[in-house]
Structure 1
Amino acid sequence: MQTTRIYFLAILLLAFVPKASLDIDAQIGYCVRQAAKTAASIPTAQPNLPRNILKNKATWNYVGYKDWTSGFWPGTLWYIYEHTKDPKWKAKADTFTRELTPLAYQKAIDHDLGFQMYCSFGNGLRLTGNLEYKKILLATADTLATLFNPKVGTILSWPRSVPNMEWPQHNTIMDNMINLELLFWASKNGGSKRLYDIAVSHATTTMKNHFRPDYTSYHVVVYDRETGKKIKGVTHQGYADNSMWARGQSWAIYGYTMTYRETKDPKFLDFAQKVSDVYLERLPKDLIPYWDFSAPDIPNAPRDASAAAVTASALLELSTLLKDKTKASLYRTKAEQMLETLSSDRYQSRNVNSAFLLHSTGHKPNNSEIDASINYADYYYIEALLRLKKVKAGKSVQASLKASFRN
């Protein structure tokens, strides 16, 4: 009942909120210029994949291909190529993408293969039709599937000892929802149907166990690896076990929107709206969340621009999947307003450094990447801008971003 009242209040208020007036091409052009600065400064020796620029610093810290964020820089380059059609960006994207090739054939060290390989090789395949990319992606999907525990119904996130995860019990983190897209794609493009079944099982089990009655998510759920019984819901990167960690909720919004797109099962569409609505209800005025919605030092707590970028991209797609035009308009408007704020002088990096955005928070409890520029914030920011451009042109978000690849 409370959610329904807030929903109708939001619809009423929407009539009095000016539509965002974002110059999309100008903002994408800004991203191209910033990426050119980054590309010019990258070292020739590995590690050479930009990950972050810390607060009050101006230079990137680099990681190797095994880092969970390794796919975001090549993915960003593919998005720039998509916009510019300039072959120099295609060549750069290909070079950095190929660095990740070993991940397809090595033993899975965690669940992040979707982030790593679908953002890089996936976008590359979509834009070039390179069948070598397809082969690598199919191998990666099979590697990711080795982490699936049928007794639990989810993919193991961290196959190693992590504090508070009761290793060797089975842990699953909310971030893992994004990696399901690789499995869905593979199952429809030459891979086993089992990959589709794994993805559906993971999404369904997570929907059952990862959320509180108000649809806020736990960051992690720990399961008994033999019985599949839920042991506990906890946090790893959030403020508290019972708090709503901003980026975790954004992964849920993005993940369940994508899962509905791939399955067309209405339960996932309904759930995507529920996890979106509670996030929107609790946002600050500028629509950029604090790193955790329960952080005790709000309004002085660090923001997380990365969560805003992920959510904006997800809401744009979600707005295209709804028959309820009023609700679709709400989501699209909120996404545009988020992007307008992210594109302001408060959040864009501009002359501070060569990233796209400032003010992201990686792992606050670990005192890591606080109020920093981070590669995944940039990736989802440019993805959201490209999605908005397609939506405004009346084109399919799905076709423009995750089209069926050529055989």
Structure 2
Amino acid sequence: MKKIVVGMAVMLGLCACTQRPSGMLDVNKALDYCAEQTLRTLTELKTDSGIDYTMMPRNIMADENHWNCRKATKEEWCAGFWPGVLWYDYEYTQDKHILEEAEKFTHSLEFLAKTPAYDHDLGFLIFCSYGNGYRLTQTPAYKQVILDTADSLATLFNPIVGTMLSWPREVGPRNWPHNTIMDNMINLEMLFWASKNGGNPYLYDIAVSHADKTMKCQFRPDYTSYHVAVYDTITGNLIKGVTHQGYADSTMWARGQAWAIYGYTVVYRETKDTKYLDFAQKVTDVYLNRLPEDKVPYWDFDDPSIPNAPRDASAAAVVASALLELSTYLPNGKGKQYKDAAIEMLTSMSSNAYQSGKSKPSFLLHSTGHWPNHSEIDASIIYADYYYIEALLRLKRLQEGKNVLG
């Protein structure tokens, strides 16, 4: 019954989302909207005793109008995205009040630099928050937090396998001796950065090894990705490719493919090895070729209930941001194709069909968190907002002739 109800809600909520968006994207208008929504969220978070800076916005369900917040702990992998949103909003608005709030929420994550790694999500937690904070302020203490956390993340690396262990907690219950999930590709950026900014140079080697083994073992011949690769800890060999959040082991889970597109774009940026540039295009093209007309994917490209399956705006936001960067590394033909695709995605997400508008303080509607667990279906989710504002800022920089990365 629950699936039927969710399915009906998806159909009703997305009936206007199937057509190609019309009109031109006004980047400044979209960023102004994000600024307004950010202020709404800050107002909502304020109580009579002030703001609890350890409570981070996480999601708003389809039938809700206010953020559900979660405590910033080592288990809450999304805790870095709200501080990251604030940093991006400050970058656009230059509002000192937003700067102060960004600093306070970011500070709540400092404990992670002194805590043994719980799982691979330290990159999401620290580089989205402290990473953007350091980029914009050059605060020395921020840099040290990043370096210390990168060292902690590196403890999950298994040199026999050649990748980082993503989920230590799944080693026993699922009999996944060494598991690596596609999301982990995003956390390599912090390792690369640390290796080039005073950290251990070995962190660079870990990141490259992880990218190479993932490229070899975690993709099918058609360049679609497995969510999870399970490895033998004795031989280092792949045991199997499976899913955790996708429809089935054999399907293309949209956000997993989005992580791959973003991740290999970063690996090319950091290494300048053209094999990664070539691979990034291959994993991108299979994604683009199967998108619906409005360029926002169904949560899994192979869900048999399409076109009545839920969308995932978070995947669209991740890919749009990645393609804007990837486009700058390619000749005008392919580069323009990717940039144009990103703009189409952002145009859809900036329409009434996907923006929350006055109904909620989030930026976007229609993301899918964990369909198999019936969790965060057709919801507003904080990481969708993070990558949406990141993509808008990247496009604005490109339009102004600046470096896409700021």
Structural RMSD (CA): 1.4
1:368-390 CA-to-partner distances (Å, cap 9, x unmatched) read 00000000000000000000011
SS at match of 1:21: coil
SS at match of 2:358: coil
Residue 37, structure 1, aligned to residue 37, structure 2 = no
CA distance in 1 between counterparts of 2:220 and 2:212 reads 15
CA distance in 2 between counterparts of 1:47 and 1:297 reads 39
1:180-219 CA-to-partner distances (Å, cap 9, x unmatched) read 0000000000011100000000000000000000000000
CA positional deviation for 1:19: 9.6
SS at match of 2:249: coil
Query: Structure 1 residue aligned with 2:72, among 62, 65, 82?
Result: 65
Residue 203, structure 1, aligned to residue 206, structure 2 = no
CA distance in 2 between counterparts of 1:34 and 1:55 reads 17
Are the aligned partners of 1:138 and 1:186 in contact in 2 as well (CA < 8 Å)? yes
CA positional deviation for 1:45: 3.6
CA distance in 1 between counterparts of 2:262 and 2:53 reads 32
CA distance in 2 between counterparts of 1:48 and 1:240 reads 34
Are the aligned partners of 1:114 and 1:181 in contact in 2 as well (CA < 8 Å)? yes
Identity %: 62
CA distance in 1 between counterparts of 2:303 and 2:140 reads 47
1:79-108 CA-to-partner distances (Å, cap 9, x unmatched) read 000001111111000000010011111011
CA positional deviation for 1:47: 4.8
Residue ranges of structure 2 left out of the alignment (5+ in a row): 1-19
Aligned 1:4-403 pairs, distance under 5 A: 21-43=24-46, 44-45=51-52, 47-66=54-73, 67-161=76-170, 165-167=174-176, 169-322=177-330, 324-398=331-405, 400=406
Residue ranges of structure 1 left out of the alignment (5+ in a row): 1-16, 401-407
CA distance in 1 between counterparts of 2:274 and 2:225 reads 20
Range 115-124 or range 38-47, more displaced = 38-47
Are the aligned partners of 1:312 and 1:338 in contact in 2 as well (CA < 8 Å)? yes
State the TM-score, normalized to the length of structure 1: 0.92
CA distance in 1 between counterparts of 2:257 and 2:68 reads 27
1:345-400 CA-to-partner distances (Å, cap 9, x unmatched) read 000000110000000000000000000000000000000000001111111113x0
State the TM-score, normalized to the length of structure 2: 0.92
CA distance in 2 between counterparts of 1:217 and 1:201 reads 18
CA distance in 1 between counterparts of 2:377 and 2:100 reads 33
SS at match of 1:268: helix
CA distance in 2 between counterparts of 1:357 and 1:370 reads 13
CA positional deviation for 1:161: 2.6
CA positional deviation for 1:164: 7.2
Residues paired across the two proteins, number: 381
CA distance in 2 between counterparts of 1:98 and 1:162 reads 32
